[in-house]
Amino acid sequence: MLHLRLITPSGQTDDVLRLIEKTVGTTHLVVLPDAARNPAGDVVMCDVAREAGDELLTGLRKLGIDTSGSIAVETIDLSLSERAEQAAADAPGEGADAVLWEHLSDATHEESTLSVTYLAFITLATMIAACGVVLDNAILIVGAMAVGPEFGPLAGICTAVVRRRARLALRCAIALLVGFAVAMAVTVGFSLFMDGVGLFTQARLDADRPNTGFIYAPDWFSFVVAVLAGIAGTLSLTSAKSGALVGVAISVTTVPAAANAAVALSYGDTNQTWGSTEQLLLNLLGIIVAGTLTLLAQRWFWSMQRKKTP
């Protein structure tokens, strides 16, 4: 269940109440007249089944409550109420399958903003991966994958394509491109420093690397894994399964590929640089295509569910 707290101008409260009452899956409606001070208006609270939440939020935004008042949404961890159980049963579909498009847009906006923290994480992840490829250490590669924040912008691009939000797509693309560019540039300098102190050597980079050699040798398996990871990652975001998202992060070699390209570039190894770049681009493409198709499929599924709702 979701809990909604609304501040509505007094002249719009009746419209809001009618919308809530006609939405299947709502309950626990509370109205506090003239309780709000900034902005001034009435406070309206209700609970709604997750699977009916997107429909209600869309209706509230059409009424302009997000501009004239306020819409706050919280997830209810525990609700002991027969009315809540009945509301969840009446709502179409299952809560775990529901997509809250507004929440998804907000989450991808936060995750895909080009910030100092974002650049720090992607740069640190790439440097850790650089150590992993030189040492042929799979544990460091997995650690770098987990640290990398690049799935946020990728999910943002998928969301922007489905919702036709060019500005969001541009911001995510900038975060992705600038993030990898900065991370790879810093990692080139890091590699030169490590070589200068004798910790990195070209012999190690060129040696057989059974644990990490796949990073600069893209093939169809790379694309297949990226597609599967894109589907799983998108589902984890829409269903708020953060544990699954961690699994996705450590299954696709985006950051390690960027790291291998940077280290190889510092030694002038064009073959590994190009192979790693191909791996990176192939994985990014697979995730974006799969994530976009997954969101389109979810939107179609929920449109069919709503048509079945009386």
* 292 contacts 163 by C-beta, under 8 angstroms: no
pLDDT of residue 298: 84
Range of the domain at 74: 2-95
- Cα separation of 228 and 232, whole Å? 6
Provide the CATH number for the domain around residue 276: 1.20.1080
Copy the structure tokens of residue 45: 């609270």
pLDDT of residue 164: 87
Mean pLDDT of 195-210: 91
pLDDT of residue 194: 95
- Among the three residues 46, 78, 95, which one is the final residue of a domain in this structure? 95
* 238 located within any domain: yes
pLDDT of residue 308: 61
- Please provide the average confidence, as pLDDT, over all residues in the chain: 87
* 26 contacts 87 by C-beta, under 8 angstroms: yes
Mean pLDDT of 273-295: 92
- Cα separation of 243 and 307, whole Å? 32
Residues 177 and 224 in one domain: yes
Q: Where are the beta strands (DSSP E) in 38-182?
A: 40-48, 70-75
Residues 72 and 221 in one domain: no
Q: Name the domain count of the chain.
A: 2
- Cα separation of 222 and 265, whole Å? 22
**Chain segment 32-51, per-residue pLDDT in tens:** 999 999 999 999 999 998 88
Residues 175 and 289 in one domain: yes
Residues 121 and 261 in one domain: yes
pLDDT of residue 234: 84
pLDDT of residue 248: 56
Residues 61 and 209 in one domain: no
Handedness of CA 125, 126, 127, 128 (dihedral sign): positive
pLDDT of residue 87: 87
- Cα separation of 71 and 27, whole Å? 17
Residues 88 and 234 in one domain: no
**Chain segment 130-152, per-residue pLDDT in tens:** 999 999 998 899 889 888 888 88
What does the DSSP 8-state code read for residue 167?
H
Whether the per-residue pLDDT at 91 is higher than 90: the answer is no
pLDDT of residue 20: 94
Q: Tell me how far the alpha carbon of residue 158 is from its chain's centroid.
A: 9
- Cα separation of 165 and 145, whole Å? 28
Copy the structure tokens of residue 91: 């709502």
Residues 49 and 144 in one domain: no
Residues 173 and 39 in one domain: no
1 pLDDT band (50/70/90 cuts)? confident
Residue 57 CA: distances (Å) to CA of 50, 99, 158, 295: 11, 12, 21, 18
- Cα separation of 186 and 128, whole Å? 12
**Chain segment 55-85, per-residue pLDDT in tens:** 899 899 999 999 999 999 998 888 889 998 8
Q: Which burial class, exposed, middle or buried, applies to 163 when counting CB atoms under 10 A from its CB (0-12, 13-18, 19+)?
A: middle
Whether the per-residue pLDDT at 258 is higher than 90: the answer is yes
Q: Which range, of 74-88, 157-171, 204-218, 238-252, averages the lowest pLDDT?
A: 238-252
Q: In 10 A of CB 66, how many CB atoms?
A: 14
- Among the three residues 95, 119, 143, which one is the final residue of a domain in this structure? 95
pLDDT of residue 301: 79
Q: Which range, of 12-21, 48-57, 186-195, averages the lowest pLDDT?
A: 48-57
- Cα separation of 232 and 46, whole Å? 32
* 309 located within any domain: no
Question: 279-307: string of b/e by CB count within 10 Å (b at 16+)?
Answer: bbebbbebbbbbbbbbbeebeeebeebee
For tokens 């900065």, name the residue.
Answer: 182
Whether the per-residue pLDDT at 246 is higher than 70: the answer is no
* 150 contacts 258 by C-beta, under 8 angstroms: no
Q: In 10 A of CB 81, how many CB atoms?
A: 13
* 212 contacts 140 by C-beta, under 8 angstroms: no
Residues 86 and 224 in one domain: no
Residues 48 and 162 in one domain: no
Copy the structure tokens of residue 27: 């309950």
